[in-house]
Homo-oligomer: A and B are copies of this chain.
Amino acid sequence: MLPTLKRGVPVVEPMDAEQVERIHEASLSILEEVGVVFRDPIAIEDWKRVGADVRADDRVHLDRGLVMELIKTIPPNVEYFARDPAKNVELGGNKSIFVPMTGAPYMRDLDDVRRGPTIADLGTFHKLAHMMPALHSSAHHIVEPMDIVVAHRHLHITYSSIKHSDKIFMGMTTSPKNAEDVLDMCEILFGEGFLENHAVTTGNCNGNSPLVWDQVMLGGMRAFCRRNQPVLCSPFVLGGANTPASTAAAVAQLNAEALSALAYTQVVREGCPAIYGHYLSTVSMQSGAPMAGTPEISLMNFMIGQMARRYNVPWRTSNLLGGAKIFDAQAGYESAMTMMAVLLSGANYIWHSAGWNEAGMHCSIAKFVVDAEVCAMGYRMTQGIQWDDFDEALAAIRDVGPGGHYFGHPHTQANFEKAFFIPKLFDNNSVEQWYADGSKDIKQRALEHARRLLAEYEEPKLDVAKDEELRAYIDRRSREIPAVDALNEEY
């Protein structure tokens, strides 16, 4: 696995300091004057306790002083601990990680067939995530395991993440009870008390934009905050549908929403890690569906990066998104435009970095492995320029002279691979060679590559006692939680 990405190129900042303050002030005015709805009695009590102005039952008007005071205690950096300590990673400032996509109700499989996924399919994705060097996490429900009842799903998803990979993984926040189960399993894996001072997993709390946070998500968030585990505070932006038709105003709204949730994490537990999140899209007028790779998404990523840096909190974005129905050129354009903007925006927690197509409705195995390689390309670009052998390389220019060739020069032979990234899944042969190789498009090559990887996969074995304890936990909870197709909020 590649270590934490340390950004060596500057970020793109399309707003000047005054414009950053304009967004900031607009967001704080929204929080004070429009307010944010927390559809959750516990959150309302919490807000009242810290002196927020709650009107109409659940509409919280947040004083700008209170918000800014609260978010001050969010740690600017997060150090994550993985089952394999060599795969620990860091977040914040110029440090970033790539995390695969999650949440797909469909998949495109090893034969490129679009179908409902199973827990075995999820295992396949966790294996691939484990093997791809640029992916720093096995995430959680990359695809939804439809063969497991909804109420038990989080247990099996978490076990699959843990079992198939020794990288960090994500934690389900689909209900407060589910979140507790995940955190209990983390406690088993890492040992009692470990979570209190070590981030090992990441929750996500999606907003109901505009300006609403719901009970289930807030309950999940609280579970993570109390156990000192980072949560992504993610307004869910469908630009033009649940925001104004203006990038600047959409960012002002999103920023207000993110600030309100970030502040709330600190009400729950002062000093707990929290990550400025968002899901970001603009919608098609025609279908109302979220689009990917549009110019406004790029601009909003740049802008949100500026806001998160203003508040000195780590931030999350979404990467390599495609709206295409298949793994065609559209998916390639959309994904790469997204990634380049994301990397140059300085995002820290770079989620949905592999597999996302059809606006998140499916995860494609072919796209998963290509995206992961494209992340490795982006990683290299973002590291910046290598200067260490500059003088040596200049000496080669003198040696070779006008009209010469560099392939045979010792400096070239020693440095070629380090100097220039050669993507495995992109074909750069002549057309004649490509014909001879079977005229395969990148989808075919990627699926063959995925099959090879899976054939070579070696499971990073869990400690036997821990494995047994995890299985026992799942068995017990599976008995306690009725096996129904509904999220468990009671047992």
Binding site for B on A (CB under 8 A): 8-10, 12-15, 19, 22, 26, 29-30, 33-37, 59, 114, 208, 210-212, 239-250, 252-253, 282-287, 289-291, 293-296, 298-299, 302-303, 323-337, 339-341, 344, 358-359, 361, 367, 370, 374, 377-381, 384-387, 389-390, 392-394, 396-398, 400-407, 409, 411-412, 414-423, 425-431, 433-434, 439, 441-443
Contact = CB atoms under 8 A, between A and B. Distances in A.
Given A22-B390, A299-B385, A431-B358, A420 B240 contact: yes
Given A295-B380, A406-B242, A329 B34 contact: no
Given A12-B9, A212-B403, A242-B405, A429 B333 contact: no
A381 B299 contact: yes
A428 B291 contact: yes
Contacts of A396: 244, 249
A247 B211 CA distance: 47
A337 B334 contact: no
Contact of A394 (B10, B37, B252): B252
B332 A400 contact: no
A442 B329 contact: yes
A427 B333 CA distance: 12
A8 B12 CA distance: 11
Contacts of A407: 240-241
A19 to B, nearest CB: 7
Copies per complex of this chain: 2
B406 A287 contact: no
Contact of A420 (B210, B253, B296, B401): B296
A419 B34 contact: no
Contact of A241 (B242, B358, B406): B406
Nearest to A439: B325
Contact of A329 (B282, B331, B389): B331
A210 B404 contact: yes
Nearest to A335: B333
Given A329-B328, A329-B367, A291 B422 contact: yes
A284 to B, nearest CB: 4
B33 A289 contact: no
A246 B329 contact: no
Q: Which of A381, A392, A425 has the most CB of B within 10 A?
A: A381
Nearest to A34: B398
A290 to B, nearest CB: 8
Contacts of A246: 386, 389-390, 392-393, 411, 415, 419
Q: Which 7 A-B pairs have the closest CB atoms?
A: A332-B332, A249-B393, A340-B340, A295-B381, A246-B393, A336-B336, A211-B402
Contacts of A324: 426-427, 442
A147 B19 CA distance: 57
Nearest to A418: B245
Contact of A243 (B12, B406, B428): B406
